[in-house]
Structure 1
């Protein structure tokens, strides 16, 4: 393959070389966007990568079985557990989430998982991102299929944004995909840089369809880059976000929302939760980043009248084993807790019973809630989408919004 064509394919795959698109394709740039963008409901997904230890996040601090399984790793009430209800409390580092709980802006779901759980990070994350069963392999994401849906009103890539350098499976549909943008200004600069002049329509007829498709993809991405760059100039946050990558990504998210970007979905990740060794220090640092960051986001959006139409979903691909290991950590487990946050939650607090530590499955928690029942409720009752068409039949929607 000639060097110029190889370079074109490499860069276009990153959707980052988009100048000199033929003028006829600028008709693709931007059609009608979402109506009332600032008031439309939006979803922010926060993925805790690595398998967060749910039992030390939402702690059953009045259950002796918890301390028997974790004689040194178990967190004691005197260490500052933040009491909730149902004999549960948040990790002491989650003061930001406790503040939202006290304001009625946090819902906790315990023992969320799926049948026949997989302990592979990659496979279990694929299951959560695609909305598949453990026996299925699906090449599209649950939010990507939402973008594909006729009624989503999301024809442009910027309607679903991942604040990162790469796009996750969750935002990839068969017809439409979201856009990975970590920094709108840098993304715009890259998009204006160099390459399409190297690509000619004077290719063999067999390649015309491929080049047409690439030109269209590049045109859509170039238009999105322009749009996001111009919008991102409108609002600069002064919120007290953590000085971490996750904190900066949350700040970018708030700035885009408060600038009026027409996205319905935002996707962020906080990695590092694979705590096989020395869990206490690592999890405390990460949970502080999570709690402080989400509290700052909520405050930022609330001050700009955007919190009531925002829902935040926080999940991890699996939990950890109930018993601690010999390395002051925990190994891969199964069911886990899920958080929902927002300014207009109709159901709040701890929504189901604590994990049953007396009824384990070979040392692991049994799931009470299938995660796809949560997805179904979000799709139907929050995003006004056809959950059955997107997820398939068989998942009873949880009553989260009534």
Structure 2
């Protein structure tokens, strides 16, 4: 069954000015078609809020293959910084290489004295520092919990500047927000796809979970391509928890208020045994949706460690809900999860320095509180968080901002991460670099396929099944070999 994606904003409430009538439930055990349709229209119930919940449930179907694994738990968290984070100001050269950096960046270079120094265990070829707002990430790097992967981006295959200039083997819509966001989520840069690599991964791994009322893929940002599979849809929740059916309250008291009438009507529908298979399936789906909501809510209503201070930001609230779900993993019966969290607004064509100075502390504080919590609940070896973004940005300035580019730097965090290292190859930043295709747009030296393959293997996908998750992976690694795609995970 193909995945279905519907924006939550279109499902939030019944349409205004629609005519609805309240019908009394039939007293007989079975109900006919007319009675069913009458009840389906009652109490201001539109199909859309119901379908919002139903489509959050894991869709039925069998995966192309099923993986096996030990009786463990693993969660992969994608933190997507949408808009195109200027990551060469997130991780910038210091020392002798600083002049090269400041020379090409001009007015958008961070003063060297403000960069937070880091001390990698393996020499990356030049001293590096973090954006001054990243105090938490600096401490996580130094404690070997966090690493950076340098110059990552979408690639059809390894490409040279000459091939770029000839227009050969380039990702579709290179430098375009919509295309590059899609390709970061599908890992298919040479074709359009509505199926994400996280969804294809869940198609393979879903049988590891004992609980089948929830998708393995949980989104804190509604529908997304990354978690859409052939047999899997994301389970979309809010930073406050799961959503029940719109307007339904299981603890209602009989009355004439719209919510009371709506709740009574739904209970009436679910109490009837229908003779039509569609009616029966529809009623069962509503029961399953409510049961899933109750189970998820009970499992994630946990008390997190009180000695950790969470920032008062939406991103922190989202990651706190991820932490709650991970804390409830045993009750939920889950062995594998992916989580999607999005923080947007990084398209800084102007005022780059003040904008990053305002936004990166939000990332830093939320990620630090999240990781402190994950360690406090003893799940640090079971969780990996990685950052992603549409693309890197031009090294040259556009007035006081930067433009859409290609390769960029990302971070990965986890107890199984080979931390305090710069993985991949941090590029030369001078204007005549062999990677610079114009204005400081750098050809990636690590493909997103390699980046994602490392995490897919960690989550439990077998090496032989990597092409089912990442169709182009054999263009970058030997899937019959044993070498790690990048090497940032133990």
State the TM-score bracket (shorter-chain normalisation): 0.7 to 0.9
8 Å CA contact 2:142–2:420 kept in 1: the answer is no
Q: Secondary structure at the match of 2:321?
A: helix
After superposition, what is the alpha-carbon deviation per residue over 1:217-266, rounded to whole angstroms, capped at 9, x for unaligned? 54543332111110122324532121110011111111221233435111
Is the aligned partner of 1:343 residue 2:343? no
Shift of 1:314: 0.9
Which of residues 38, 43, 47 is equivalent to 1:9? 47
Shift of 1:277: 1.3
Q: Show structure 1 runs of 5+ residues with no match.
A: 19-33
Instruction: Write the distance in 1 (CA, Å) between the matches of 2:319 and 2:416.
Output: 20
Q: Secondary structure at the match of 2:109?
A: coil
Which region of structure 1 is more displaced relative to structure 2, 273-282 or 180-189? 180-189
Is the aligned partner of 1:281 residue 2:389? no
Shift of 1:63: 3.6
Instruction: Write the distance in 1 (CA, Å) between the matches of 2:73 and 2:132.
Output: 34
Q: How many residues are aligned here?
A: 380
8 Å CA contact 1:159–1:264 kept in 2: the answer is yes
Structure 2 match to 1:21: none
Shift of 1:269: 1.0
Q: Secondary structure at the match of 2:410?
A: strand
Structure 1 match to 2:116: 81
Q: How does 1:130-169 map to 2 (within 5 A)?
A: 130-133=186-189, 135-149=190-204, 153-154=208-209, 155-164=212-221, 166-169=222-225
Instruction: Write the distance in 2 (CA, Å) between the matches of 1:237 and 1:158.
Output: 27
Which of residues 24, 39, 42 is equivalent to 2:75? 42
Structure 2 match to 1:242: 311
Structure 1 match to 2:486: 398
Instruction: Write the distance in 2 (CA, Å) between the matches of 1:285 and 1:291.
Output: 11
8 Å CA contact 1:60–1:354 kept in 2: the answer is no
Structure 2 match to 1:30: none
Is the aligned partner of 1:367 residue 2:444? yes
8 Å CA contact 1:184–1:225 kept in 2: the answer is no
Shift of 1:383: 2.9
Instruction: Write the distance in 1 (CA, Å) between the matches of 2:205 and 2:367.
Output: 32
Q: Secondary structure at the match of 2:88?
A: helix
Instruction: Write the distance in 2 (CA, Å) between the matches of 1:279 and 1:185.
Output: 34
8 Å CA contact 2:384–2:413 kept in 1: the answer is yes
After superposition, what is the alpha-carbon deviation per residue over 1:128-167, rounded to whole angstroms, capped at 9, x for unaligned? 111212x201121111111211565244424221123x12
Shift of 1:2: 8.0
8 Å CA contact 1:17–1:190 kept in 2: the answer is no
Distance 1:108 1:35, change over 3 A: closer
Shift of 1:346: 3.5
Shift of 1:180: 0.8
8 Å CA contact 1:163–1:182 kept in 2: the answer is yes
After superposition, what is the alpha-carbon deviation per residue over 1:364-400, rounded to whole angstroms, capped at 9, x for unaligned? 0110011111211211233345322221252423333
Which of residues 278, 282, 299 is equivalent to 1:231? 299
After superposition, what is the alpha-carbon deviation per residue over 1:96-147, rounded to whole angstroms, capped at 9, x for unaligned? 11111111111111110123242221111111111212x2011211111112
Q: Show structure 2 runs of 5+ residues with no match.
A: 1-17, 21-39, 57-67, 156-169, 250-262, 478-484
Is the aligned partner of 1:376 residue 2:453? yes
Q: Secondary structure at the match of 2:108?
A: coil
Instruction: Write the distance in 2 (CA, Å) between the matches of 1:284 and 1:222.
Output: 43
Structure 2 match to 1:324: 397
After superposition, what is the alpha-carbon deviation per residue over 1:182-227, rounded to whole angstroms, capped at 9, x for unaligned? 145562474844475697999998xx66x67755654543332111
Q: How does 1:138-217 map to 2 (within 5 A)?
A: 138-149=193-204, 153-154=208-209, 155-164=212-221, 166-183=222-239, 187-188=243-244, 190=246, 192-193=248-249, 194=263, 196=266
Which region of structure 1 is more displaced relative to structure 2, 216-225 or 341-350? 216-225
Distance 1:150 1:353, change over 3 A: closer
Which region of structure 1 is more displaced relative to structure 2, 353-362 or 239-248? 353-362
Q: Secondary structure at the match of 1:112?
A: strand
What is the RMSD of the two structures over their aligned residues, measured on CA atoms? 3.1
Distance 1:84 1:389, change over 3 A: same
Structure 1 match to 2:345: 272
Which of residues 231, 235, 254 is equivalent to 2:323? 254
TM-score by length of 1: 0.84
Distance 1:365 1:225, change over 3 A: same
8 Å CA contact 1:333–1:365 kept in 2: the answer is yes
